Amino acid sequence: MAGKLYIVPTPIGNLGDITLRAIEVLRSVDVVLAEDTRTSGKLLKHFDIPTALRSYHMHNEHRITADLASKMEAGQTMALISDAGTPGISDPGFLLVRECLQKDVAVECLPGPTALIPALVESGFPSDRFVFEGFLPPKKGRQKRLQGLKQEQRTLIFYESPHKLLKTLDQFQEVFGPDRQVSVSRELSKLYGETIRGTLESVAEHFKAHAPKGEFVLVLRGADS
């Protein structure tokens, strides 16, 4: 009997955002593959889910992906989760999905939390067409990527860590101009979540006065036509 891979989104902050079906799937599979078993262990314990956990992250995915897919080909069912949000979106997942499909193992992604959509909608910028860039390259290729987006008219979405936020906002000003409108959301769905809107210059000044904390989503208005 063929196995199956479930891609299961988990809350990005507020545990109440998990779906009933996500809990059902996590309880029913043979193994839950987790980016960080310590973080995911707390989630499973909170919802009284006894399923065994196994690590699956960027440092071991190339080594164990084929073996996991073979086990599912032989009949096991597995669920892949990340620390928060939907696996495969700036988190491990793509390699395993591809390997399963190559082995004719069924793959199903449940709908659920992801940080980019709430940040986009809260920005007030056009959301009918947008470009998701995720994390920019840390060094090599960073400026080239930004220059390639300079004339992009669709709304642009980026992820950024707190210690790189100010550097990124300064680089955005150099490429897109200090007056380009931006919406920066942090800690979405959590108690101290907030969204700061304004020009790149004014938002950068805000975070120079208020040290960046938490994980950030930057939503940049597209270029004028």
Q: What is the pLDDT of residue 129?
A: 96
4-109 shares its CATH topology with 116-220: no
pLDDT per position as a tens digit, 200-210: 999 999 999 99
Instruction: Give CA–CA dist 138/67, Å, rounded.
Output: 31
Q: Is there a contact between 105 and 97 (Cβ–Cβ < 8 Å)? A: no
Q: Which residue has the tokens 């196995």?
A: 3
Tokens 């390699």, residue? 95
What confidence tens digit (pLDDT) does each residue in 95-147 have? Answer: 999 999 999 999 999 999 999 999 999 999 999 999 999 999 988 899 999 99
Strand partners, 219: 157, 183
> Considering the entire predicted model, what is its pTM?
0.92
Q: Where are the domains of the chain?
A: 4-109, 116-220
The arrangement of secondary structure in 4-109, i.e. its CATH architecture, is: 3-Layer(aba) Sandwich (3.40)
Query: Which fold is adopted by the domain 116-220?
Result: 3.30.950
Residue 1 has pLDDT above 90, yes or no: no
pLDDT of 218 reads 98
Closest CA to 181 of 221, 134, 126: 221
Residues β-bridged to residue 52 = 31
